[in-house]
Each structure stands twice: as structure tokens, then as C-alpha cells.
Amino acid sequence: MLFQNPTFLGAVASTLLLSTSFVQGVCLHNHGRNLQAGPGSVPISNFSYIGVTGPLGWAGLNTANVKCSTANVQSPINIEHDVVPLSKTHPQLSIPNVKSAEFENLGSTVEVMINGTTIFEGKTYSLKQYHFHTPAEHLIDAQFYPMEVHFVNIASDGSILVLAAIFELSLTGTNTNLLDPLSAPLLTITEPGSSTTTGPLSFSDITNFFNTVPLFKYTGSLTTPPCTDGVIFLVADTFLPISPKAFLEFKSVLKFNARYVQNAPGEENLIEVAAGQLPK
Amino acid sequence: MLFQNPTFLGAVASTLLLSTSFVQGVCLHNHGRNLQAGPGSVPISNFSYIGVTGPLGWAGLNTANVKCSTANVQSPINIEHDVVPLSKTHPQLSIPNVKSAEFENLGSTVEVMINGTTIFEGKTYSLKQYHFHTPAEHLIDAQFYPMEVHFVNIASDGSILVLAAIFELSLTGTNTNLLDPLSAPLLTITEPGSSTTTGPLSFSDITNFFNTVPLFKYTGSLTTPPCTDGVIFLVADTFLPISPKAFLEFKSVLKFNARYVQNAPGEENLIEVAAGQLPK
């Protein structure tokens, strides 16, 4: 468990540590994120997507975020079909169905707390949550898409595997059933720091999706502070449908939470590129 | 007429100067943009929205683009209702209906070449084209929207006035009639550098729109190189509807052409902020 700001966290720990969802959240998805006290039991991320607390200012929020502005392997990227290879093997993702799950608004995203396991290339990862970005963070062949979901998996050695799927708007109103049971509870957690409980969630379709569709594979980073690099990304090369209604609902709550597209993996961090072009 | 790269332009001028649309385009919307020869008669912008030729690298493309990384007044911005004031007066926009118009794909946008006039705060501006960005460049109350149109007006003294309208996805399939006559020709100019001719275009609805709806007013910049500052923006505080079908059509051609949201007007350029946070 990484805390970037132990002093501040200490101040809110007395209430937060009573919350199981907090413990789950920080241990996995909040891997090193700065946190602030929310109005309820849910910690709010201290970074944003606008201005000096936005992606160009993330490194200034905490020295632990230095990779956001200096690492040469960062996510998201523009995934070109003729550049980024498909994974030769599939993950084995398993998520037990649940009768209900914690659903939290962290300010920077909304996420569903669940337990699962992913086996990929011989390594076993734990899955604790999935969350959403709108618009999608990755571009595909230079095009943007309305939304993206990230299933963040962490192995016992700390290595991170993100299973990502990108949504495209459906003209027929079709909506991926991953989203359907979230629509009603989503509208009760519009306030950052708020949380609610979902109804029953079934994961057979989404696990079957990741376990069978072609997946781009590349090594990138967390797309949020501290921008930890060395993260394996498996991004589905098949879109999930999102209905116009669901898109507007998610957008009204998430508002805008996509990091700008980073330089190609291995190329100089774009903040260093931009800094090098400033007048002397 | 500003040319950033006269040598290069000289090399392609023999073919390009035969094109009336080129002359219209460069004189107004291509105000200082670097240009490259396209496959047809349309010059292609040399900047992009990805990697080192993307927004973080624009200043490095040409010394004339220095304001992209250093000016303290840049567009687009996040428009907060309680921060950015509404204009106290309306523009008087007038665009004669036409039987057809040139419709061009510049690589960086698609735009319709027309002639119009805008009177605002006692000054008369000429309008020569309108073009599109997807997603919308301005955020409204931190939320993103699917598309934005810019009507770029220039006065005889060189001052620039942009009339901007933001589209929101329609759940009923309603589509602004500004877009309807562009759908078919749009799909014939998917290639950067290509152009076509539209059918009849009527502007009574869009001129009535800008002449009557509430408009945010702020001073910003061109959202493309050379990021000229001192540009007056009037951004409609009323969304135009875009159907899911039209959104997908425009997105398939424009792909992604929104500059990241800049710091609030008057605040330090975010590239300078980011550069100042790099390790010494």
C-alpha cells in the first residue's frame, strides 16, 4: 500500500479506516494516489483533469508523481493497428457474480469494488475494482471514443496488469450489460466522495469478452498519478456498445477524465519535449 | 496574410495559387499555419493532435508558434458558468445562402468555405469559413461535449472574433440543420487534402442562433498554431443537437482534433507550469 501523503492521510484515517471500501480502494486502484477527505466515507483524488492540478501539473502535486512528466513509457497512447501488436495469449479473467457491490465516486472516476483473479502469462493477479474514463483514454488509429473501462489487476510482486475495453456509441441503443445495472446507482453518486451499493452484478459476459477477443498488448503506465510505469496493458480490439442514454449519464457524472495521449512508448515524455522548446 | 514558411509555400504555390479555395482558406482560417501539399488542391496542416507534432509540440514546429507554449491567454478553456460572463450584446452575423460551397479536409479539420459578415461591438468582421472539432474543445462546467463548430471572423485591422457553438448528443435523433447537408459530402473527403462541393446551404437558423442565444464572452487565442492571442471568443451557452449518426460520421473523419484545455485566462501557460516542475 503506497501513501504519498502520510501526514494528510493520517488526519483522515480515523474515519476512513473504518471503511472496508477505503481499504480495498487504496490498496489497489489508489496505488499511490494523493487522497483528500470526501463528504462521505470515500476518499477523493487530489488530482484533476483541468489546470494546474490537471495532467500537465500532476508532477507538481507530489514528488512521487515525477514519472508523469519524465518517464518515457506512459499511457494512454494512440494505438495504431499496424504498430501495436496483439497479445499472443489471452488472460484468464474470473470474477464471481455478486449480489451487490460498493460503487464510489472518487472525483477522478467512478468505480465498482469487486474481487476477481486474472492469470496472464503464468502470473496470477488480483482484481479489486473497475472504473471508467470519458472520453476513452486510448485513441485507436488516431480516433477517439466515448468511454473506456479499466480493470486494474495487481500481482503479489506489485506488477500491474490493466484490462481495458473501449466503448463505441451504438446507433441501435444497444448497451453493454456491464453498464446496465450501474445506470440507476450512478445517478445517486454524482457528488465526489459519495458512494452507494449496486444491485446484483453478473460478470460472465465481460470475462468471456476479455478471455476471447483480440487484445492489443503494450507496456505503459497508470494513466493517473503517480503514473507508475511498467504496467502491462491489454486493450480490446473489439468495441463494446454504449447507448446514447448511458453515454450521457456517465458523462454527466465523470464530466471529463481522460489524460492526454502520451508519446509512443520509449519516446521522450511530451512534457520534456515541450519544455525543451521553450525560449531560452 | 501570414505565411510562416515562405520557402516551402513558394515550392507548392504554383499549383495551390490556382485554387480559389486555397486563397480564401489561407487568408483567414489558415492565419499563419504551416502548410503542406495535399493530394488535391487543398493544403494540409503540418500540425496534428498526437505526439511531437501534437499540442505539446506545436511551438517546436515553427518559431512563430511560440505563443502556444508561452502565452498566458490561450484557448480552449473550461467555461464555468459562475466565472465566465455572458456577452452584454449580441453579434449581428449575416451569411447569404449559397447554392453550393467548397468543403475541404485540411487534415486538422474539415471546413466549409463561405462568405459572411459579423458586426460586434461596433466592429465589422469578415467570415470566410466554419470548421469543426471533435470532441468539443471548450469544456462547460468541466464537462466535455461531442463536437464544436467555429465561425472564424477577421476584421480589417487583423483582430479575430470566433463564434463557437457546442453540440450535445441528441437522444431523439435530432440533428442541427447546419450538419444535415454536410453528411453526404463529408464522407467523400475522408482523406486529408481532399475537397468536394456541397449542395445548397441555408444559414438562417445558425445566424439566428448566434444573434439571439446567450453567449459566453472571453478573450483567448486561436486553438491551432500559431495560437495567436487576443482572440475574442463568443461561445453559445445553448447546445446544438447532434444525432448519434452524425456524431459518428464526423468523428470517423475528424478522428480527434481538440487541443487540451488551457489554464484560465491570465494564468501561466500550462507548458511553462509543467516545465517548472521538472527535476533540476
| Candidate from B69, B144, B244 with C-beta closest to A274 | B69
Using the predicted structure, report yes or no on whether residue B148 has a pLDDT greater than 50: yes
Q: What is the pLDDT of residues A45-79, one digit of tens each?
A: 999 999 999 999 999 999 999 999 999 999 999 99
Q: Which amino acid is at B153?
A: N
Q: Is A153 helix (H, G, I), strand (E, B) or coil?
A: strand
- Whether residues A270 and B52 touch (CB distance < 8 A) is answered with yes
Residue B217 Cα, gap to closest chain A Cα (Å): 20
Contact list, B270 vs chain A (CB under 8 Å): 51-52, 54, 56-57
B274 vs A69, A134, A144: nearest CB: A69
Are B144 and A251 a contacting pair at CB < 8 A?
yes
A141 contacts B270? CB cut-off 8 A: no
Is the Cβ pair A142, B260 closer than 8 Å? Answer: no
| pLDDT over 60 at B11, yes or no | no
pLDDT of residue A32: 40
Check residue A41 and give its pLDDT.
Answer: 75
**Residue B175: enclosing H or E segment and its boundaries?**
none
Indicate whether A94 belongs to any domain.
yes
The C-alpha of A262 sits at a distance from chain B's nearest C-alpha, in angstroms, of: 7
Q: What is the 3-state secondary structure (H, E, C) of B26-46?
A: HHCCCCCCCEECCCCCCCEEC
- Residue span of the structural domain in which A173 resides: 58-272
**DSSP, residue by residue, B69-99:** HH-SS-S--EE-TTTSPBPSS--EEE---BS
At B230 the pLDDT is 97
pLDDT band at B26 (very low <50, low <70, confident <90, very high): very low
Inter-chain touch B59–A274, beta carbons under 8 Å = yes
Contact B244 A169 (CB under 8 A): yes
**Minimal Cα–Cα distance from A41 to chain B, Å?**
24
Q: Flag whether pLDDT at B214 surpasses 70.
A: yes
**Residue B93: pLDDT band by 50, 70, 90 thresholds?**
very high
Decide if pLDDT at A241 tops 70: yes
User: Could you read off the pLDDT of A135-158 as tens digits, one per residue?
Assistant: 999 999 999 999 999 999 999 999
* Measured distance CA(B195)–CA(B190) in Å, rounded: 9
What CATH number has the domain bearing residue A233?
3.10.200.10
CA angle A154, A157, A158 (to 5 degrees): 45
Q: Which residue of B has its CA nearest to A80?
A: B50
Cell 469478452 -> residue: A209
Single-letter amino acid code for the residue at A216: F
Dump pLDDT digits (tens) for B237-252.
Answer: 999 999 999 999 999 9
Closest CA to A192 of B260, B142, B139: B142
In the predicted model, is pLDDT for residue B6 greater than 70?
no
Q: How many CB atoms lie within 10 A of CB B132?
A: 22
Chain A closest-CA separation from residue B238 CA (Å): 16
- C-alpha grid cell for residue B113? 468555405
Q: What is the rounded average pLDDT of the residues A115-131?
A: 97
- Identify whether B30 is part of a domain: no
Chain B neighbors of A274, CB-CB under 8 A: 56-57, 59-60, 69, 271, 274-275
Residue B33 vs residue A269, higher pLDDT: A269
CA proximity to A221, closest of A50, A74, A35 = A74
In a domain, B21, yes or no: no
| Average predicted confidence (pLDDT) for chain A | 89
| Residue A63 near residue B280, CB atoms below 8 Å | no
pLDDT at residue A109 is higher than 90: yes
Interface touch A78/B50, C-beta < 8 Å: yes
Nearest to B97 by CA among B251, B207, B236: B207
Q: Are B109 and B149 a contacting pair, CB within 8 Å?
A: no
Cβ neighbours of B51 in A, within 8 Å: 78, 261, 263-264, 267, 270
Residue from B45, B81, B144, B262 to probe the interface with A (highest A Cβ count within 10 Å)? B144
Across the interface, do A51 and B267 touch by the CB < 8 Å criterion? yes
Identify the band that residue A39 occupies on the pLDDT scale cut at 50, 70 and 90: low
CA distance A257 to B94: 38
Considering only residues A3 and A191, tell me which one the structure prediction assigns the higher pLDDT.
A191
B128 within 8 A of B114, measured Cβ to Cβ? yes
How far does the CA of residue A26 sit from the closest CA of chain B (Å)?
A: 25
Q: Which residue has cell 439566428?
A: B208
Query: Residue B19: is its pLDDT beyond 60?
Result: no
Interface contact B171-A143, CB threshold 8 A: no
Give the phi and the psi of residue B76 in degrees, each rounded to 5: -80, 170
Confidence of residue B280 (pLDDT cuts 50, 70, 90): confident
**What mean pLDDT do residues B70-82 have?**
98
pLDDT of residue A220: 98
Q: What are the pLDDT digits (tens) for A173-199? A: 999 999 999 999 999 999 999 999 999
- Nearest residue on chain B to A55, alpha-carbon basis: B274
Which of A141, A255, A279 has its CB closest to that of B70? A279
Maximum Cα–Cα distance for chain A, whole Å?
Answer: 60
User: Which of A47, A58, A63, A270 is most worth mutating to test chain B (most B CB atoms within 10 A of its CB)?
Assistant: A270
Interface test mutation site (partner A, options B45, B48, B49, B50, max chain A beta carbons within 10 A): B50
pLDDT of residue B36: 56
User: In whole angstroms, what is the distance from residue A128 CA to residue A22 CA?
Assistant: 12
Structural element, H or E, at residue B206 = helix B204-212
Residue B15 has pLDDT above 60, yes or no: no
What is the average pLDDT score of chain B? 89
CB A70 within 8 A of CB A6: no
- Residue among B267, B278, B271 at smallest CA distance from A59: B278
What pLDDT does A171 receive?
96
Average pLDDT over residues B3-27: 34
**Cα pseudo-dihedral B80, B81, B82, B84, rounded to 10:** 70
| A185 cis-preceded (ω within 30 degrees of 0) | no
pLDDT at B50 over 80: yes
Residues in A closer than 8 angstroms to B264, CB to CB, are 51
Among B201, B200, B188, CA closest to B252: B188
Closest CA to B106 of B188, B28, B45, B182: B45
* SS3 state at A246: helix
SS3 content of chain A, % helix, strand, coil (to 5): 25, 30, 45
Residues in chain A closer than 8 A to B57 (CB atoms): 270, 273-274, 277
Nearest to A274 among B134, B248, B275 (CB): B275
Q: State the average pLDDT over residues A197-202.
A: 98
Contact between chains at B51 and A263 (C-beta distance less than 8 A): yes
Q: In this complex, do A274 and B277 lie within 8 Å of one another by their Cβ atoms?
A: no
Closest CA to A120 of A228, A215, A27: A215
A246 backbone dihedrals φ, ψ, rounded to 5° = -65, -40
Residue A117 lies in a domain: yes
Helix then strand then coil, % of chain B, to nearest 5: 25, 30, 45
Cell of A2: 503506497
pLDDT at residue A40 is higher than 90 = no
Residue of chain A with shortest Cα separation from B141: A255
Report the percent of chain B where pLDDT is more than 90.
84
Report whether pLDDT(B211) > 60: yes
Number of domain units in chain B: 1
Are B144 and A255 an interchain contact pair (Cβ–Cβ within 8 Å)? yes
pLDDT of residue A20: 33
DSSP assigned state of B64: G
Which residue from B52, B139, B267 is facing A273, i.e. has the nearest CB? B52
Q: Do B59 and A278 touch (CB under 8 A)?
A: yes
What pLDDT shows up at residue B14?
Answer: 33
Cell triple for residue B253? Answer: 473523419
